[in-house]
Copies of this chain bind each other. A is one copy, B any other.
Amino acid sequence: MSKKATIYDIAKELKITAATVSRALNNNPKISKKTRELVHATAAKMNYKQNKLALALKSGKSKNVGVVVPFINKNFFASVIRGIEDELYPKGFHVIISQTHEDVDREKKIIQNLINAQVDGILISTSFTNENKEQLNQELKKSTPFIFFDRVLNFDGTSTVTIDDYQGGFDATEHLIYQGCKRIAHFYVDQNIELYNNRLNGYKDALLKHRIAYHSDYIISLTSDMEAGKEAAEKLMKLPVPPDAIFSSTDNGLLGAVKYLQSISVKIPEDFCVVGFSNEPFTQFLEPSISSVDQSPMEMGKMAAKVFLKQIENDESGIDENVVLPAKLIIRKSSSKQ
Closest CB of chain B to A300's CB: distance in Å? 13
Q: Evaluate contact between B49 and A116: CB separation under 8 angstroms.
A: yes
Q: Collect the chain B residues with CB atoms within 8 Å of residue A287's CB.
A: 286-287
The yes or no answer to A27 lying at the interface (CB within 8 A) is: no
Distance between Cα atoms of A114 and B96 in the complex (Å)? 12
Q: Are A62 and B53 in contact (CB under 8 A)?
A: yes
Contact partners of A117 in chain B: CB under 8 A: 52-53, 64, 94
| A137 at the binding interface (Cβ < 8 Å) | no
**Residue interface mask A36-71, B partner, CB < 8 A = 1:** 000000000001011111101100001010000001
Name the contact of A53 in the complex, choosing from B1, B4, B56 (C-beta under 8 A).
B56
Question: Within 8 Å of chain B (Cβ to Cβ): is A2?
Answer: yes
Decide yes or no whether A178 CB sits under 8 A from chain B: no
Q: When the two chains form their complex, are residues A85 and B72 in contact, meaning their CB atoms are under 8 A apart?
A: yes
| Binary per-residue interface labels of chain A (284-317) against chain B in the complex, 1 for a CB within 8 Å, 0 otherwise | 0111000000000000000000000000000010
Whether A99 touches B116, Cβ cut-off 8 Å, given contacts A56-B53, A62-B53, A255-B285, is no
CB of A137 to closest CB in B, whole Å = 13
Report the minimum CB–CB distance from A159 to chain B (whole Å).
Answer: 14
Please name 17 further chain A to chain B contacts, defined as beta carbons within 8 Å, in addition to the given A49-B112, A94-B96, A255-B285, sorted by A numbering. Answer: A1-B142, A1-B143, A2-B142, A4-B143, A51-B57, A51-B118, A52-B118, A53-B117, A54-B57, A57-B57, A72-B72, A72-B82, A72-B85, A89-B98, A94-B98, A94-B114, A95-B97
- Write 17 A-B pairs (CB below 8 A) sorted by A numbering: A1-B142, A3-B143, A4-B143, A51-B118, A52-B118, A53-B56, A53-B117, A72-B85, A73-B75, A73-B79, A75-B78, A78-B78, A94-B96, A94-B114, A259-B285, A281-B281, A286-B287
The 5 closest A-B pairs by CB, nearest first: A73-B78, A282-B282, A78-B78, A73-B79, A1-B143
